[in-house]
Amino acid sequence: MSAQEAIIRFDEVSFEHGHNKPILKEVDFVVRRGMKLALMGQNGAGKSTIFSLIIGENKPAGGVVNIVKGVTIAKAHQVMAKENMDHTIREFFQMCFKEPVYDIDPRIDDVLDVVNFSVPHDKKVRDLSGGQQARLLLAGALIQKADVILLDEPTNNLDKEGVEHLTKFLEKYDKTVIVISHDSDFLNAFTRGVLYVDVFTQKIEQYVGDYKDVLREITIRVEKERRKNAQMEKHIQEKKDKANFFANKGGRMRILAKRMRESAAEAEENKVEVRREDNVIRPFVIPTQDGLMGEVITITSVTIIRGDKPQQKKVDISLRKKQRLLLSGPNGVGKTTLLEALASGVASGARIVAGVRVGYYRQDFSTLDFDKTVYDTLAEVLEKEVEQDIRSAAAGFLLDGKVMFSKVGSLSEGQKGLVAFCRLMLQKPGLLILDEPTNHINFRHVPIIAQALDRYEGAMILVSHVPEFVKKVRIDEMLDLGKM
């Protein structure tokens, strides 16, 4: 089979999420063997839908998705399925194959090394941290050595070493890779093409080059189209002015004026539709709880995980208003467990002052009720429900009328993140606890979120593996659980 063989082809593919919710409209694109492509677009544009159509989880409403017979496809999901939680690591990997694989342990070790992870094969999936589960999902796709690998936000929850290991693997990988990611540096290291989902036209634009090349090409094209339209506008206005002049002359001149108006109307129709760039969330402020004074939280001890065993370590941390703590350490050391215990008020070595309202951003969005609508999710944190206030706040996070009465569980991961931030803004917390707040978020939004957190005036505890993001948020104190 030729390396240039088209192995995936979308022919006029359309898809809707429920009645009157179009996602894709007569989409055409081709993926050839050996291609390494970035699938990009605004949150909710339909990137994950493309993956679901490729693997057959969803069927198109129109058109055809053609997959060459015999081509194998593996997808790394973003979130571990609940039904996998009670399986061992070995059982999880066995489930990645249709037929039993004998002597699978060496293969497991090899693929875990790719994602910089080592774990006993008889350990239960539920005993892994969120970051470790993310590595496991990634390894589950890689171990299959499929003809096509679909990676959905693979760098989420990976520390710097994990991202480096994965990048080197993908640079050397000789099969087809399609990856959704908001990490432009990661994408630029190995992709050589972009499928761009345009949320406005519901089409896919296919480009050659990495994301930086594509961004440059789009910018040039937009500027060219704007110049052309400006010239066309001038031409149209001249015709309209002449038509008005001749119309006032009467007689045969009115016929000429009519022709001028028809010519102007035709020119209007020929104007180029300028490509609209992704919307970006509005700058926002997370208000601080009224009456916040003195210490907000004190932490005298933390539990870390060392060699699968919990260990209690003494610390001396006290956060007041406007003070921030950065919590760091490798995957599996206990960061998320600690944040959850702090947020729920059950951490044995910590005390949050009575009456302090805690805003908790979980990386898996489990603080949100997936069965509730976006509107109800936002309304429940308000003392007094005012629909206009809720809709205005939501609009700033690109949560429009169509989204507002959708269930949270039906949203993309990126949209869930925006709902979580909008909810924090309405909640007005005195203490913010943030666990990987940039996961799944469109990179265009990240600087705005960083600015909002930097300006927040309450106390804050932050976990993030994204150095560029952390640099934009003032940090007063750091606690590395990996060095305790």
Alpha carbon 6 to its chain's center: 28
Which carries the bigger pLDDT value, residue 248 or residue 380?
A: 380
pLDDT in tens, 256-306: 777 777 776 776 666 555 455 557 889 999 999 999 888 999 999 988 888
Confidence of residue 474 (pLDDT cuts 50, 70, 90): very high
Does the structure show a pLDDT above 90 at 377? Answer: yes
- How many whole angstroms separate alpha carbon 221 and alpha carbon 246? 38
Confidence of residue 86 (pLDDT cuts 50, 70, 90): very high
Q: How many CA atoms lie within 13 A of 30 on its CB side?
A: 7
Statement: the pTM of the whole predicted model exceeds 0.85: no
Does the structure show a pLDDT above 50 at 151? Answer: yes
Helix (H) or strand (E) holding 316: strand 309-320
Q: What is the pLDDT of residue 93?
A: 93
pLDDT in tens, 188-247: 889 989 998 887 788 888 888 877 787 777 777 767 777 777 777 777 787 777 777 777
Does the structure show a pLDDT above 70 at 3? Answer: no
Q: What percent of the chain has pLDDT over 90?
A: 41
* CATH class of segment(s) 6-214: alpha beta
pLDDT in tens, 7-35: 999 999 999 876 667 788 999 999 999 99
Domain ranges of the chain: 6-214, 295-483
End-to-end CA distance of the chain: 54
3-class secondary structure per residue, 182-218:
CCHHHHHHHCCEEEEEECCCCEEEEEECCHHHHHHHH
pLDDT in tens, 166-195: 888 888 888 999 998 877 788 888 998 999
* Identical topology for domains 6-214 and 295-483: yes
What is the CATH number that goes with domain 295-483? 3.40.50.300
